[in-house]
């Protein structure tokens, strides 16, 4: 019991101390290692709307590139493995143990065990899905141990007890200000305007067929590294997900290391299975549902917020939502507390003006959005 309480306290401390989501994941890997020792592991945040990873933090893996490439193939390949995290995400349980063949657990002979766990020199895997109280998934993870060192029932129970806490950490750090370590000259060099559309084409073999200069800048700002390195990452996960759900395109909301919201759109490019992706700065309607979820607003509070952003008065909101003005005020007080503001004006400023006011005065592109590069070109949208 004391270990579980100290683990929870460590998770809360990590969420409070982390400057952003990437740092929170690093802290959590440290905390988990102190209470549930592991030989290798990975944590990944996800956009709860599409449930695909938007980044990776790994520990103890000699060849993280090879591991990520193989993991992506197993998780999002055409033949869905029954022990994949993708399957676990869509089930009620948040913890699953995969043991070496001599153990009593599931996973005997599955592709995931034979090609991933055992090939890494490991014998046991613990899969984790981090959901909040509203059952929204904010992240996934896995911990690995060598042969003969299985995870105990007590360790599973302890981790199961803090899944919500870790999910809330993923959620709250998503909207935290960008850390100082990503500001300054290095980030300033990547935030400057770069002319031309941000487009990536990924071939059926998961190699980058084409990457524009603007797209390469987005990769760096998102912490995905340079496409020239060929490192597997979130872009490959999204490409595989689009192939699996074809012809339905995907829209993924992301936040750069320097704190700007972005939208990635992906769709099948042609019959060969190539996938085209575009990156652009997010507009408020595209991220408001993610932001309200990240702040922990209830469905009713989110409805009130939408009315506030539309400029409606308390009485107008009450009439439209069929509640009393006093109830509207109670919801507003709760929204103010959760978002850290003290007035409607501050609330609107936090959610809208910080994103849009710095761009006022800039020329407009043909699609009506601010042209920060001076290119006067419309946003690129490629359809299958």
Q: Is residue 367 part of a domain?
A: no
CB under 8 Å to 103, separation ≥6 — which residues?
Answer: 124, 150
Query: What's the CA gap between 259 and 182, in Å, rounded?
Result: 9
Is the separation of the CB atoms in 44 and 140 below 8 Å? yes
Q: Which residues of 192-208 are buried (b: 16+ CB within 10 A; e: fewer)?
A: eebeebbbbbbeeebeb
pLDDT of residue 8: 95
Q: Which residues pair with 127 in a beta bridge?
A: 96, 142
Does one domain contain both 354 and 295? yes
- CATH no. for residue 89? 3.30.450.40
Does one domain contain both 159 and 18? yes
Does one domain contain both 275 and 322? no
Is the separation of the CB atoms in 172 and 15 below 8 Å? yes
Does one domain contain both 279 and 290? no
Q: Is residue 377 part of a domain?
A: no
pLDDT of residue 112: 83
User: How many Cα atoms occupy the beta-carbon half-sphere of 129 within 13 Å?
Assistant: 23
Q: Is residue 371 part of a domain?
A: no
Does one domain contain both 147 and 203? no
Does one domain contain both 87 and 161? yes
Q: Is residue 366 part of a domain?
A: no
What are the mean pLDDT values of the chain's consecutive 10-residue runs (384 residues total)? 87 94 95 96 92 90 81 81 85 88 54 83 93 92 93 95 96 72 42 73 94 95 89 91 87 89 94 94 84 89 89 93 95 92 83 50 46 42 34
Sheet of strand 95-98: strand arrangement: 57-59, 40-45, 137-145, 124-131, 95-98
Does one domain contain both 155 and 130? yes
Task: Select from 123, 140, 174 the last residue of a domain.
Answer: 174
pLDDT of residue 1: 61
Length of the chain: 384
Does one domain contain both 38 and 136? yes
Does one domain contain both 194 and 148? no
- CATH no. for residue 210? 3.30.450.20
Quote the pTM value.
0.79
Q: Is residue 93 part of a domain?
A: yes
Task: Select from 154, 174, 194 the last residue of a domain.
Answer: 174
Please report, for residues 45, 125, 237, 318, 380, the alpha-carbon distance to residue 200 in angstroms, rounded to integers and kept in the order given.
22, 34, 14, 46, 11
Does one domain contain both 336 and 235? no
Domain extent at residue 215: 181-283
Does one domain contain both 201 and 314? no
Please provide residue 127's backbone torsions phi and psi, each rounded to the nearest 5 degrees.
Answer: -100, 140
pLDDT of residue 186: 42
pLDDT of residue 106: 45
Q: Is residue 383 part of a domain?
A: no
- CATH no. for residue 312? 1.10.10.10
pLDDT of residue 349: 75
CB under 8 Å to 330, separation ≥6 — which residues?
Answer: none
Is the separation of the CB atoms in 121 and 146 below 8 Å? yes
Specify the DSSP class assigned to residue 34.
H
Q: Is residue 373 part of a domain?
A: no
The structural domain count of the chain equals 3
pLDDT of residue 353: 54
Q: Strands 137-145, 250-255: parallel, antiparallel or unpaired by DSSP?
A: unpaired
Does one domain contain both 279 and 323? no
Q: Is residue 123 part of a domain?
A: yes
Is the separation of the CB atoms in 213 and 232 below 8 Å? no
Q: Strands 57-59, 40-45: parallel, antiparallel or unpaired by DSSP?
A: antiparallel
Task: Select from 234, 260, 283 the last residue of a domain.
Answer: 283
């Amino acid at each position: 019991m004391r270990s579980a309480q100290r683990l929870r306290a460590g998770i809360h401390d990590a969420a409070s101390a982390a400057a952003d989501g990437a740092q929170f994941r690093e802290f959590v890997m440290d905390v988990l290692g102190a209470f549930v020792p592991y030989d290798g592991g990975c944590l990944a945040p996800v956009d709860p709307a599409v449930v695909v990873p938007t980044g990776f933090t790994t520990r103890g893996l000699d060849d993280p590139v090879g591991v990520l490439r193989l993991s992506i193939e197993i998780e999002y390949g055409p033949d869905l493995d029954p022990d994949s995290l993708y399957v676990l995400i869509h089930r009620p349980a948040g913890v699953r143990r995969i043991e070496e063949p001599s153990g009593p657990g599931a996973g005997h002979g599955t592709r995931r065990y034979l090609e991933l766990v055992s090939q890494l020199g490991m014998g046991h895997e613990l899969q984790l899905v981090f959901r909040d109280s509203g059952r929204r998934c904010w992240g996934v993870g896995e911990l690995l141990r060598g042969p003969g060192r299985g995870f105990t029932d007590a360790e599973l129970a302890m981790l199961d007890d803090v899944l919500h806490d870790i999910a809330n950490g993923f959620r709250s750090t998503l909207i935290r200000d960008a850390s100082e370590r990503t500001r300054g000259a290095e980030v300033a060099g990547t935030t400057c305007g770069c002319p031309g559309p941000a487009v990536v084409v990924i071939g059926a073999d998961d190699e980058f067929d084409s990457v524009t200069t603007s797209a390469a800048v987005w990769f760096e700002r998102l912490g995905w590294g340079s496409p020239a390195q060929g490192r597997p990452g979130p872009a490959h996960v999204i490409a595989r997900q689009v192939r699996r759900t074809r012809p339905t395109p995907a829209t993924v909301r992301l936040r750069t290391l320097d704190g700007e919201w972005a939208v990635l759109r992906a769709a099948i490019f042609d019959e060969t299975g190539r996938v085209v992706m575009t990156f652009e700065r997010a507009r408020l309607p595209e991220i408001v549902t993610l932001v309200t979820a990240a702040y922990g607003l209830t469905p009713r509070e989110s409805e009130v917020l939408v009315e506030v952003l539309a400029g409606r008065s308390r009485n107008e909101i009450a009439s439209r939502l069929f509640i009393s003005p006093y109830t509207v005020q109670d919801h507003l007080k709760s929204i103010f507390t959760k978002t850290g503001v003290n007035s409607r004006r501050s609330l609107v400023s936090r959610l809208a003006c910080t994103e849009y006011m710095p761009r006022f005065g800039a020329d407009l592109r043909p699609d009506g959005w601010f042209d920060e590069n001076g290119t006067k070109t419309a946003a690129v949208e490629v359809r299958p």
